[in-house]
């Protein structure tokens, strides 16, 4: 049995891509997209017609409306290939505006429903800012399920649990990147791999806390840099993995065993924590890595949204 098949015994495997033509070979349950992945996809010849057709069909409408139609078009194509859910992201430029995030999420969901897609098959991705988490709480109450992304800190995970978010996406690789860069020449790759990887440790801490306290929010590790980070999280609720790393897993037959066990955390001493806005902001501010990576991630998604708009204007 290859490692991808072995991983599927413990964890729901999700494909992290806008390249839906690659999906069938890996047979993931779900798929995730973001502005950067859609931008990457539409620049490939095989996907350029989707951009051209969407722009032509909605010519004269505001760019943000055309953008949502394009995201939903990709989402619908993906849903024809997978049995589960697709994650579609709200414009990152709304990350600090609760009301605008809610409105955009409702519009995206309405576009899916107009295509005959039930809301159970769509997760609305929102950055894990305080405003984003508040928006998710409101959307969840309406039956619109949310994937809280750009999650780097424990306080973000706790607040998402309080909001009853459907799912969170803690970013393993970007946490690893920060600590590796911070350590510089002192970084020991071998010593900081597997269970010692700071990104892996972050997800394990969140997973343990959720399972200990019966929090129903699903934990989906994301943003992987290597296969070792993935295998060290076997047993996590879900893992969203790039096609490149999915291919590496499928090509490897090394043994893979359960690394996270929900039953085992019950014996752990993990006191319950609760955040309000002020304590959340302070906790996030105290975490230099999370503060920097959250801001960096939002900036990057905003920049790619602008690039996508430029392509749409040309189309």
Catalytic residue numbers read 125
Strand, coil or helix: what is 252? coil
Distance CA 131, CA 119 (A): 22
The secondary structure of 41-108 as a DSSP string is HHTSTTTHHHHHHHHHHTTTS-HHHHHHHHHHHHHHHHHTT-SS-EEEEPPGGGTT-HHHHHHHHHHH
* Size (the chain), residues: 315
24: Cβ contacts below 8 Å, ≥ 6 apart: 81
Strand, coil or helix: what is 217? coil
Distance CA 144, CA 299 (A): 26
Question: By C-alpha distance, which of 81, 88, 71 is closest to 122?
Answer: 88
């Amino acid at each position: 049995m290859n490692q991808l098949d072995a991983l599927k015994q413990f964890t729901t495997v999700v494909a992290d891509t806008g390249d839906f033509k690659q999906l069938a070979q890996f047979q993931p349950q779900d798929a995730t997209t973001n502005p950067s992945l859609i931008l990457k996809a539409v620049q490939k010849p095989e996907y350029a017609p989707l951009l051209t057709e969407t722009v032509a069909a909605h010519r004269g409408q505001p760019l943000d409306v055309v953008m949502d139609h394009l995201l939903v078009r990709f989402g619908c194509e993906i849903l024809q290939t997978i049995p589960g859910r697709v994650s579609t992201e709200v414009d990152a430029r709304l990350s600090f505006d609760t009301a605008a995030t809610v409105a955009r999420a409702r519009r995206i969901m309405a576009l899916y429903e107009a295509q005959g897609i039930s809301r159970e098959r769509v997760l609305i991705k929102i950055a894990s800012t305080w405003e984003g988490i508040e928006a998710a709480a409101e959307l969840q109450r309406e039956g619109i399920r949310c994937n809280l992304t750009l999650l780097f800190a424990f306080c973000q995970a706790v607040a998402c649990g309080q909001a009853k978010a459907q799912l969170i996406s803690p970013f393993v690789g970007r946490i690893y990147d920060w600590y590796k860069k911070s350590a510089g020449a002192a970084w020991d790759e071998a010593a900081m791999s597997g269970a010692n990887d700071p990104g892996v440790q972050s997800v394990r801490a969140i997973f343990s806390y959720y399972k200990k306290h019966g929090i129903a929010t699903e934990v989906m590790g994301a943003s992987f840099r290597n296969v070792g980070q993935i295998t060290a999280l076997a047993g996590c609720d879900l893992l969203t993995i790039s096609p490149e790393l999915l291919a590496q897993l499928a090509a490897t037959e090394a043994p893979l065993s359960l690394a996270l066990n929900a039953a085992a955390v019950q014996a752990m001493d993990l006191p319950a924590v609760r955040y309000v806005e002020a304590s959340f902001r302070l906790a996030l501010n105290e975490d230099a890595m999370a503060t920097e990576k959250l801001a960096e991630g939002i900036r990057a998604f905003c920049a790619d949204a602008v690039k996508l708009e430029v392509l749409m204007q040309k189309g």
